[in-house]
């Protein structure tokens, strides 16, 4: 099943919470570099993530959006879609 744009954005925002590079975003979001580039540009323009020396991190606005999307998912589907981020070694 194909994922919606909203689902991919949600995944990218979750992945970027602790600051990651573009390659990590591509692999963890199961997308390609071309798609990720477009999503990152949109997210940066909308102040949902920021980039600093190749590291992408979710902004407070992005965290707020994640929380809002999660509240909708809880109401609609009855489950929490967030999980603790694994610490990368």
Measured distance CA(69)–CA(6) in Å, rounded: 9
Q: Would you state the pLDDT for residue 31?
A: 95
Averaged pLDDT, groups of 10, the chain, 89 residues long: 89 96 97 96 98 97 94 83 46
Do 58 and 16 meet the contact criterion of CB atoms below 8 Å apart? yes
Measured distance CA(28)–CA(76) in Å, rounded: 25
Q: Would you state the pLDDT for residue 86?
A: 40
Measured distance CA(7)–CA(12) in Å, rounded: 9
Measured distance CA(9)–CA(42) in Å, rounded: 10
Q: What are the extents of the domains in the chain?
A: 5-77
CATH match of 5-77 with 3.90.1150.200: no
What is the model's pTM? 0.84
Q: Would you state the pLDDT for residue 1?
A: 78
């Amino acid at each position: 099943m194909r994922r919606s744009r909203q689902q991919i954005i949600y995944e990218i925002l979750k992945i970027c919470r602790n600051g990651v590079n573009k390659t990590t975003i591509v692999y963890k979001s199961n997308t390609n570099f071309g798609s990720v580039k477009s999503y990152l540009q949109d997210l940066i323009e909308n102040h949902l993530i920021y980039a600093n020396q190749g590291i992408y991190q979710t902004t407070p606005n992005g965290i707020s959006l994640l929380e809002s999307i999660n509240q909708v998912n809880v109401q609609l589907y009855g489950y929490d879609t967030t999980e603790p981020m694994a610490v990368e070694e």
